[in-house]
Structure formats: C-alpha cells, structure tokens
Amino acid sequence: MAGRRRPVVWPVLLAALVAAGSARATETERVGMSPFGPNDEIGMLNKVTPESVFKVLRRISSGRTYDLSVEFYVGMPSYYFLGQPRFQTWNVHTPQGTIVDDPNGLGKEKNSHVTYSGTAFSMYAHTGTHIDALSHFGLQGEIYNGFKADEQLGDRGWRKGGVEKFPPIIARGVLIDVARYKGVDVLPESYGITVADLQGALRQQNVALEDGDVVMVRTGRMQWFKDNEKYMHNTPGLTRESASFLADAGAIVIGVDNISTDVWPAQESRNWIPVHSAMLSQRGVPIMQNVNLEQLAADRVHQFAWFGAPLRLRGADGSPMRPVAIPIR
C-alpha cells in the first residue's frame, strides 16, 4: 500500500542519492541525437529492416513458441508508488445485464437468446509485459533526438516519440541468463548487474551479441511475480554501465524480467533512473519490463527469433505487448 511502501522504498533511494559520490555528477547529461536524422522517433528500431527480418526468419528451426508475457489481472504488481493507476478490468455487458437493461432495445426474448458479454480495461501503459517508447524518459525537458516537451507534449501524449511510431519488431533475440551464470535462482535484492556478469553469461551460453539484437536479461525475479511486494521490492537490475555495454554491442531493445530494468535503488547521485534515461533518451534503445523468460531459461534457449508488436497507442510513451520467441539454429 502506498502509505506503507513509500516509507520503505523511497528513503532508501534518497539515502543512496545523498550518499553517492560526485564522481558520477551528471551536470552535462544531454539527450542523444539520432544517427537516423532529425525526424527520427524510433532510434535503434530503424535497424529492423526487411533484410534483418528475413535474416532471422530464415534461421527458424522449429515451430515451438515461447510466450514471454505475463498475465494482466486486477491486483497484479505494477507501478503505483507515484500515484499511477493500477490495472482494472470490468464488465460492460453481461448476459444478465443485457436482459435487464435492454440496451439495444430488442427486448427480453432476443436478449435472452443471444448471450452478450463485453469487457473494458484500463491501465498505466507501463504495466505487465510492456515496452517503453523513447519519450518515456528524457533529460532536461527533451527526449531522444532533441524533441522538446514544451513543443511536442500535448494532453494526449507526445506528438513525437510516441509508441505508435514503433514498427512491429522482428529480430534475433538473445537471452542473457545472469541468474544462472551467478548460480542463483534469483539475483539478490538491489544487485546491480555488471558488464562482467553479462560477458560471463554470454560466454557460458556460447552466444555473441550482434548488431540488431533484442536482448533479454534474466534476473530470475519473474519467479516472484505472484507475490507483489516481494516482486517489486528493491529489484536487481541493470546499471548504466551494463546497459550501455548492451547498447554498444548493438542491442536495439533491452528487456528484463523485473519491474524496473534499472537496479533499484539506482546507484547514481543525480539521476534517479539512469538506465531508463540513458537507453531511451541518449541511446535510442527501447527497454522492456516484466518479460517472462522462465521457460526460455529452463529450456536453455539462448537465441531465437523474437516477435513483438506494441499496440499503436497514439502519443503513448509505452505499450503492453506480448512478445513471442521461436528457436533458431
């Protein structure tokens, strides 16, 4: 509950921010400008081309599909500490209600014959398995490629950098199973994944990153998904350094099996969420949260064709999605 969680989580964060040295002072952090030109809104997703897509599709070696999404349900873990609305679903039409209300004016007999149900739902876009658009985090009033909030952020979201600009994403996916590499079920609380961890895990898996990869990093936290508080509390995750290593290696999307991608609390003094701001606003690399990597890990499937298509929500800075992996040779 908000009233309780915040005293637990935020003081830790504040202490970390105060305690951290000035070595990381980020006075000069600026958003990145896209190599794809001044109108670019999708960053590294420009690397998804018919050629790159065909390249991975040709390597598909089976029809086994791995569903990388969690289920969405009332009460599911989600950001709410800062007042975000939680996932809700409700019945707009039910068989009984249609008979009683007769909304279509057809009367009791016809509405008893045809049994009508209809669901509605509402959510913060950053709930469940989802992708962050480049507009989700920026620096000093700007987002990736220099679009300014003053000019481009309306009441229906961003006119630049919205998730509706993202193409369907088909690319080689690589699982980096850090939990396995570290020999644990789940990485420890607040553990910051290092570059060495990523390198070690890749070596163990005998996979090398390539330009254009969708990279999925496993902490093991997904195993706690059904225990909200445990799942959300001080999650292990990436740091600016380790995330940057992935971006340098050519990652076009970085997804993690926890709620924050960033290790929590973050380990920097000025920037409370450095992986988000660095990847989204400086590198043009969309990130994902709550990706379910358990079955891939269990089956030791470390590279695969990765399919994912965010909803085209105009102006939204993120979208739920349901990515799928299919093994490749």
Residues 80-99, interacting with a second copy (CB under 8 A)? 81-86, 88-98
For a second copy, which is the closer residue by CB, 140 or 204?
140
When asked if residue 58 is in the footprint of a second copy (CB under 8 A), the reply is yes
Task: Give me 17's structure tokens.
Answer: 């921010």
Beta partners for residue 304, in sequence order = 173, 327
Give the span between the Cα atoms of 329 and 249, in whole angstroms. Answer: 21
Q: Provide, rounded to whole angstroms, the least separation between the CB of residue 233 and a second copy.
A: 10
Residues 279-318 that bind a second copy (CB under 8 A): 281, 307, 309-318
Figure out which of the listed residues 119, 189, 208, 299 binds a second copy, where binding follows CB under 8 A: 119
Residue whose entry in the numeric block shows the structure tokens 């029809």: 63
Figure out which of the listed residues 35, 65, 204, 299 binds a second copy, where binding follows CB under 8 A: 65
When asked if residue 125 is in the footprint of a second copy (CB under 8 A), the reply is yes
When asked if residue 112 is in the footprint of a second copy (CB under 8 A), the reply is yes
When asked if residue 324 is in the footprint of a second copy (CB under 8 A), the reply is yes
Q: What angle do CA 321, 283, 127 make, to 5 degrees?
A: 25
Residue 200 burial (CB count, 10 A): 15
Task: Give me 328's structure tokens.
Answer: 């490749």
When asked if residue 156 is in the footprint of a second copy (CB under 8 A), the reply is yes
Amino acid at position 298, single letter: A
Give the span between the Cα atoms of 74 and 123, in whole angstroms. Answer: 10
For a second copy, which is the closer residue by CB, 198 or 296?
296
CA distance to 81, 187, 193, 222, 267, per residue, from 236 (Å): 18, 6, 7, 11, 11
Q: Provide, rounded to whole angstroms, the least separation between the CB of residue 200 and a second copy.
A: 31
When asked if residue 33 is in the footprint of a second copy (CB under 8 A), the reply is no
Radius of gyration of the chain measured on its C-alpha atoms: 21
Figure out which of the listed residues 34, 135, 267, 282 binds a second copy, where binding follows CB under 8 A: 135
Residues 175-204 that bind a second copy (CB under 8 A): none
Q: Provide, rounded to whole angstroms, the least separation between the CB of residue 252 and a second copy.
A: 15
For a second copy, which is the closer residue by CB, 27 or 183?
27
Return the closest-CA partner of residue 26 out of 17, 37, 15, 35. 17
Figure out which of the listed residues 24, 55, 194, 250 binds a second copy, where binding follows CB under 8 A: 55
Residues 207-266 that bind a second copy (CB under 8 A): 227-229
When asked if residue 124 is in the footprint of a second copy (CB under 8 A), the reply is yes
CA distance to 53, 72, 204, per residue, from 124 (Å): 30, 12, 37
